Structure 1
Amino acid sequence: MSKVISFQIPKSGRTFVQYQEDRGKYFYNNLHQHPQCQLTVILEGRGQLLVGDYVGRFEAGDVFLLGESIPHVFRSDAEYFEDDSKLSTAGNTIFFDFQAFGKSLEEVDEFKELIQLNERINGCFKIKGKTKEEIMRLFDGFSSLSGLEKLQRALHMLALLNFESKDLKALNMIPVSKSLSERDGKRMDQVMRFILENSSRPISLDEVAEQAFMSKEAFCRFFKLRTRKTFTQYLQQLRITEAKKLLIETDLGISQISFQVGFQTLSHFNKTFKSLTNQTPKSWRKLN
């Protein structure tokens, strides 16, 4: 995994279906991309999921579908990286390499639906409801299946994906920019790490532009092109996501939470929270 952005899935030959189990103190911590679509079940652990313009949370029991060549990271919460931490993470993933079919994907009539499906997976989706339950059931015992059985079950999973259903929730507001160059990928990873590690304090545009070795003007263009948000919008989304976690998991007062996640005034926090959630922090806490 020496290259930050061009993460390679271990595989032999041209394989459509590749199964992987991740176990450890924390999930792979770099922004990365790969040419396969992926279906991931989170079994243990929690943290922040960053994909394009989406900034959100993941936790045990979540199931996500991500399109091919889309930069993303499941970044475990800070406590997972502490030296004395007893926390651990676990997740199972199936990678689908549509390129493995070569020209036959276009020439075989039965594969046409696969082409259409691959085109629809443009971004990140959270899978819920009965579709989630069925996919989690199909994950059970996947590693022990033969090659043909794995293919059969994987196709069954893909056949369950109905993009018109409420069970598939698109997390990205707009299509995700694909295939960052390795240089841009390293820059974005460095920037994301800096923002995540410092979001609880004021961060100037000068500071974050320095992380990318760019002028402020060049950085603003670079960042918005790849996240479809301004740096300020992205930082606010990150802080509100963290505030939601604290509202649910702690008894801290709203004012305390406001300052803890990086807002300088309570009024700015309340205004930003409502603009992003259509609710006040108080009402959101009651409903969740």
Structure 2
Amino acid sequence: MSKVISFQIPKAGTTFIQYQEDRGMHFYNNLHQHPQCQLTVIIEGRGQLLVGDYVGRFEPGDLFLLGENIPHVFRSDAEYFDEENKLSSSGNTLFFDFKAIEKSLGEVDEFRELIHLNEQINGCFKIEGTAKKSILELFQNFSSCSGLEKLQKAIHMLSLIKVGSKEIIALNLIPVTRSLSERDGKRMDQVMRYILENSAKPISLDEIAEQAYMSKEAFCRFFKLRTRRTFTQYLQQLRITEAKKLLLETDLGISQISYQVGFQTLSHFNKTFKSMTNQTPKSWRKLN
């Protein structure tokens, strides 16, 4: 969601907090990273959030916390790229540059707690419950606040984040590998774009390795090191995530959904869906 050019990381400055409002048809759609931790609320728009081994959905009202230098993308759904649909996306983000604090206030006892919090934010978290409600209230009218008021609100928000509590839900199964080189970042961006745009069709290992300009063996090592999943596992997770969306938002039959998201047989779809959710598509649809 940041307007940072993909993987060209700005140098840390002397500003602890930066506030950004994103407004447009869709969110920034390149895999990217930046040296600031970010707290993002989705106001309008839906799509897929990709962070490390996590593949999931975002929708209005969601509140996410991402650690520093972690590659991620809020990829808006395909319909948000079609001007005829006249859809819009919006979100507000606070960026926290903890390096600025370490330089100037790292020895102050009260700020050591913030430094420790930053160390705990290794991945992506979804914030729920009373913490979410309080943080969203603090986001209101943030842009019109003075510098000191913004700092007070920002620190108040951070004080509400208790990593490990039931309201701060870790979305990554495995801690995220922070930071990619610019070269690897561009390569991963190309790969992720191709997967997202073609996930409903068969994608061979030869085909995706070619997108990364690698041999199959080198690509498999490269991809698993950065996502902690095999390419097949990642592609299946994307397809099941899309299937959940269709099960919730449409009246399409399960067989139709199966083929629409890229499974070649209904039996394979049912088996994969159950292995990932412990439910059949039919029972999942009823319960959600």
Shorter-chain TM band:
over 0.9
**Residues 105-133 of structure 1: CA deviation (Å, up to 9, x unaligned):** 43111111111100111100000111111
Structure 2 counterparts to residues 28-67 of structure 1, below 5 A? 28-67=28-67
Identity of aligned residues (%): 78
**Residues 28-75 of structure 1: CA deviation (Å, up to 9, x unaligned):** 010000000000000000100000000000000000000000000000
Question: Could you say what secondary structure the match of 1:190 adopts?
Answer: helix
> 2:48, 2:75 within 8 Å by CA — same for their partners in 1?
yes
Q: C-alpha displacement at 1:7, in angstroms?
A: 5.2
Change (3 A) 1:144 1:2: closer
Structure 2 partner of 1:242: 242
> 2:24, 2:88 within 8 Å by CA — same for their partners in 1?
yes
TM-score w.r.t. length of structure 2:
0.96
- For residues 8 and 241 of structure 1, what CA distance do their matches in structure 2 show? 33
- For residues 3 and 41 of structure 1, what CA distance do their matches in structure 2 show? 21
Q: Aligned AA for 1:82?
A: D
Q: What 5-or-longer segments of structure 1 have no aligned partner?
A: none
Q: C-alpha displacement at 1:102, in angstroms?
A: 3.5
Structure 2 partner of 1:263: 263
User: 4+ residue stretches of structure 1 with deviation over 6 A?
Assistant: none
Determine whether 1:6 maps to 2:8: yes
The Cα RMSD (Å) is 1.4
Q: Aligned AA for 1:177?
A: T
Q: Aligned AA for 1:65?
A: L
- For residues 25 and 9 of structure 2, what CA distance do their matches in structure 1 show? 19
Q: Aligned AA for 1:259?
A: Y
Q: C-alpha displacement at 1:249, in angstroms?
A: 0.6
Q: Aligned AA for 1:39?
A: L
Q: Aligned AA for 1:113?
A: E
> 2:4, 2:32 within 8 Å by CA — same for their partners in 1?
no
Structure 2 counterparts to residues 154-193 of structure 1, below 5 A? 154-193=154-193
Change (3 A) 1:146 1:103: same
Structure 2 partner of 1:275: 275
Structure 2 counterparts to residues 198-213 of structure 1, below 5 A? 198-213=198-213
**Residues 61-116 of structure 1: CA deviation (Å, up to 9, x unaligned):** 00000000000000000011113230000000000000112334431111111111
Structure 2 counterparts to residues 141-160 of structure 1, below 5 A? 141-160=141-160
Change (3 A) 1:152 1:2: closer
Change (3 A) 1:89 1:7: farther
- For residues 287 and 105 of structure 2, what CA distance do their matches in structure 1 show? 47
Q: Aligned AA for 1:31?
A: L
Q: What 5-or-longer segments of structure 2 have no aligned partner?
A: none
> 2:7, 2:32 within 8 Å by CA — same for their partners in 1?
yes
Q: C-alpha displacement at 1:8, in angstroms?
A: 4.4
**Residues 213-242 of structure 1: CA deviation (Å, up to 9, x unaligned):** 000000000000000000000000000000
